[in-house]
Amino acid sequence: MDTFASLRLVTLESLDLSPGYSALGERFVELRDPTSLSEPYLVAFNPDVAELIGLDPAEGERPEFLRLAAGNARFSSIQPYAAIYAGHQFGTFVSQLGDGRAITLGEVRVPDGDRFEWQVKGAGKTAFSRFADGRAVLRSTIREYLCSEAMAGLGIPTTRALAIAGSDEPVFREVPETSAVLTRIAPSHLRFGTFELFHYRGEFDAVKILADYAIERFFPDLAAIADDAERYASFLREVAERTARLMAQWQAVGFAHGVMNTDNMSILGLTLDYGPYGFLEAFDPGFICNHTDAGGRYAFGRQPTIGLWNCKALAAALSSLVAEADADAAMQAYRAAFQTSYLALLQAKFGLSQSRDRDLELFTACFGALQTGGVDHTIFFRALCGLERESTPYDDRVAAFFENRSEWYDWQRAYRTRLESEPCDDATRLAAMRAVNPKYVLRNYLAQRAIEAAQGRDYAELERLHDLLRHPFDEQPEREEYAAPPPDWARAISVSCSS
């Protein structure tokens, strides 16, 4: 509550609401009410996100809130809508997509000046549903709820999750499942693919309207630039740099998104649309978390390259506003921002407060040893937080992770030599490392346990896991088992675009 002490928390009826994005007109959205969910019940409610948007968490107990969360009601003053966009899906351009099962109920304006779109996902068919039913299943909804909040706990930009409403109403995927609606919150859900839709239609005036809207709302420093060409070029560069920094954060923590299509890329540099994601366990740059991705386009190690590819697609969509030379400069800015951000994050992970010429070589050698040994990424870096500079080289716990211990000892000697040039003492260094190397991440088996319990109407594990992931860097000794490597049965877990 301390973070929000300066905000006046209000009731649902007192929220300051506006149409937001839909005020651009029906060229950009379909005005559409949600489809009611049969006999809904509340599965999860997130008081942190309620406070983020200025809502009193006690409002989550009201039947009026449940109706909104289930898509069974709307804010009376605002017409809900679904947004239209296009996108490159697995490298192939699809000329029209859109919010096929997500409906925005309106924009909430918070007293501190922030704005948040209130969106219900799984709330029924829209004009963009194609042949889908517009519903979400409880399984996928829990996965997005947990992972968006896990990413927030890790300090990684993301959409947020306010609530889950469930129902016994059946939904048919590979097998019959129960339906659910996720309430998610973000300053904007505007995507790279929104610009692509109008560019490839030749509607360049709409591209300009979108760019002007985004700049005015979310990039006020750029709005002050008088020269049009410079303003739009700066917008592209800013989006590219935000995307690069997001890719660096994903790589540093071992997160794989799974479906980095341009319609899943946020212009604000947020992690958007959680489907087949996964956190690295055995370190492997070729890790593919999405079994639909047979070619490995979105493998973990390729994410920075795909991020750049997607920024080039956005540059093409902005080519009516941004000159080719300026677009090229923005792509160079992406490369520089990723390199700078990623190296800084790695230095922090390894406990180095100062940069040295051969640091990248040291990091690369470590990742090579992790890959050779199939060592768990999260467990390794957390254990590294206990390696003191002056301890005996052969008595550390980390060695137990490596089948070829000689490779570890060789690297460890180089690492200890590097630590000799660090100015801070062990206690300070190790505390700083624990603040950036999480002990807990959302492993798929942890999510699966919460899902299976929730399918039986037991939400205690979902609540425990959510609470754990709010503080991923803390020791939490009473929950030590959540830091364990995956059990053998977890190998059978498979996630795809339907997850």
Question: Could you list the active site residues?
Answer: 263
Strand 81-89 relative to strand 115-121: parallel, antiparallel, unpaired?
Answer: unpaired
The b/e string for 62-88 (b: 16+ C-beta within 10 A; e otherwise) is eeebbbbbbbbbbbeebebbbbbbbbb
Q: What is the Cα–Cα distance from 230 to 33, expressed in whole angstroms?
A: 40
Tokens at residue 249, please? 């954060």
Q: How many CA within 13 A on the CB side of residue 338? A: 22
Query: What are the φ/ψ torsions at residue 393 (nearest 5 degrees)?
Result: -55, -25
Cβ–Cβ < 8 Å for 107, 273 = no
Q: What is the Cα–Cα distance from 297 to 278, expressed in whole angstroms?
A: 15
- Burial environment of residue 118 by CB neighbours within 10 A (0 to 12, 13 to 18, 19 or more): buried
Query: What are the φ/ψ torsions at residue 283 (nearest 5 degrees)?
Result: -65, 125
Cβ–Cβ < 8 Å for 435, 115 = no
Q: What is the Cα–Cα distance from 482 to 261, expressed in whole angstroms?
A: 31
Q: What is the Cα–Cα distance from 329 to 327, expressed in whole angstroms?
A: 5
Q: What is the Cα–Cα distance from 121 to 157, expressed in whole angstroms?
A: 19
